[in-house]
Amino acid sequence: MEHASIMNKKRRVSDQLLEALIYLCAFLAVGLLLGIIGYVFWRGFRTVNWSFLVTEQSPTKGIMGIAGNIVNTLYIVVLTLLAATPIGVGGAIYLNEYAKPGKFVSLVQFTIETLTGIPSIIFGLFGNVFFGKIFGYSMLTGALTLTIMVLPLIARNTQEALRTVPDSYRSGALGIGATKWYMIRTILLPSAMPGILTGVILAIGRIVGESAALLFTAGSGYYLPKGGMGLFRKLFESGGTMTIELYLQMAKGKYDVAFGIACVLLALVLLLNLLTKYLAGRLNVENRK
């Protein structure tokens, strides 16, 4: 009998060509990213110094500092997440664990998916008219607007995470008499934590990078809060995040300052990502000792 040979006689040219193309794409993607980061740092690092980071801006004294904006950024991140995380996670739990499939659930699902794709300026417009009417240009208005914006992000990621929790965990817990909520609290949420955190990281990314939705809601104040009460009062005061300040500086043509802020912004995003990654690792039940 004639045996078929398994020796490759000639590799197909199209295969090789495609492989080369794919490598090229990968290099382009990484190269572009590194290029941008490199360029931003190269343009910006001279502007960044200690006083740039720890003083607030004062046009009258001619001092340029972004301490106020850094605090505003962190402030709005915390405030938004404080509102968006429980609502997003709670909504996801409802949709995944409680709601019976039907028209209503499909509608909610569809709404969430649509909300993810809406341009942020529309949120800004809505926030400005709706929350702005009540709270004026303030951190609270900004945070509430952003909450609506990042809600779908957190909800969807939580849903994805809940879906990957094996059903056997659910039946295992219910099978030994756990109530539904006890099961969700002790099994589902811990198992879904990495996914929830992914949602939170993405949300942080969007908040930090947002300008359009904040410009007409939180405004562009750059003062540091004064003392403990100041931190509370800040809720109702205008405050621009670093991204807003960056935009304003660009608008004034002060590119060096803008790049300096960009540097700090990149560093902050990196820091926040590392922090959440670290937290995710700590919270991941499978490594928990």
| Binding residues for another protein (CB under 8 A) | 100-101, 166, 168-169, 171-179, 182, 186-187, 190-191, 285-289
- Least distance from C-beta 188 to another protein, angstroms? 10
- Least distance from C-beta 284 to another protein, angstroms? 9
- Least distance from C-beta 104 to another protein, angstroms? 15
Choose among 108, 206, 104, 93: nearest CA to 153.
206
Q: How far is 109 from 152, CA to CA, in rounded Å? A: 10
Choose among 217, 235, 250: nearest CA to 122.
217
Listed in sequence order, the residues at least 6 apart from 281 whose beta carbon sits closer than 8 Å to its beta carbon are 287
- Least distance from C-beta 101 to another protein, angstroms? 8
Smaller CB separation from another protein, 172 or 281: 172
- Least distance from C-beta 88 to another protein, angstroms? 23
Smaller CB separation from another protein, 23 or 104: 104
28: which 2 tokens?
Answer: 């382009």
Please provide the DSSP assignment of 16-38 as one string. HHHHHHHHHHHHHHHHHHHHHHH
Q: How far is 131 from 145, CA to CA, in rounded Å? A: 8
CA–CA distance from 195 to each of 32, 129, 169, 184, 284 (Å)?
28, 34, 17, 15, 10
Smaller CB separation from another protein, 178 or 212: 178
Smaller CB separation from another protein, 56 or 97: 97
Smaller CB separation from another protein, 174 or 235: 174
